[in-house]
Amino acid sequence: ITDGDRIIHDSWNIARHLEMRYPDHPSLFGGDVGQGLTRHINFWSDTTLGVAIRRLIAADFIYCLAPEDRTYYRRSREAQFGCALEAYCADRDRWLGEFAATIAPLEQTLSEQPYLAGAEPAYADYVAFSVFRYARLGSPHELLPDGTPVRRWRDAIVARFDHLGDHFPAYPLQRDEPDGR
């Protein structure tokens, strides 16, 4: 973002900047302790939750991209993963089991309170939500069964701010373009 003459990169740095620059607005973290715990959620979302979701959607995600970007995506991800996208995402049942184990702490927490931050969402909720949003936009497969605590939480965040979470294109219904293979 640009705030005055400052340009801030990375969502974590943006959140910290907003917290310090606008102390008269509602806190994103709920104080220093909340900021420390939120940093943990941020790292966990990037390194654990994101990896579990990527195993389930990487082969589908390519079709969200413009046709001219698919070759790069496929080549770069296949080099990173050491195999074809389809092989990386094969054995869906195994990866769904690992995903369920990864989100078990979220399920437990959200079975006892409406948001990770408690009664109202805070930045920790939005950090974790962003990974679920990536999955929702990047694959036609719903990863969260109806009625589960994490599904209720995700849907509640989607509905906030006049359903802002639904204002973006969904997964493409047609996959009619070659993907650069």
Q: In the predicted model, what is the mean pLDDT of residues 15-33?
A: 90
Q: To which residue do tokens 């995600």 refer?
A: 61
* Residue 157 · residue 164 · CB < 8 Å: no
- Note the pLDDT tens digit of each residue in 40-87: 999 999 999 999 999 999 999 999 899 999 999 999 999 999 999 999
More confident position, 176 or 5: 5
Q: In the predicted model, what is the mean pLDDT of residues 111-123?
A: 96
Q: Which of 85-94, 116-125, 171-180 has the lowest mean pLDDT?
A: 171-180
pLDDT band for 181, please (50, 70, 90 cuts): low
**Per the structure block, which two tokens stand in for 59?**
């082969």
- pLDDT above 60 for 111: yes
More confident position, 168 or 181: 168
Q: For residues 26 and 87, what is the distance between their CA atoms, to the nearest angstrom?
A: 45
Q: How many CA atoms lie within 13 A of 176 on its CB side?
A: 2
Angstrom distances, CA of residue 131 to CA of 3, 50, 53, 154: 26, 6, 8, 10
Handedness of CA 47, 51, 54, 56 (dihedral sign): negative
More confident position, 163 or 105: 105
Q: In the predicted model, what is the mean pLDDT of residues 145-157?
A: 96
Coil vs helix vs strand at 146: coil
More confident position, 166 or 104: 104
**Per the structure block, which two tokens stand in for 25?**
């607005």
**Model pLDDT, residue 166:** 78
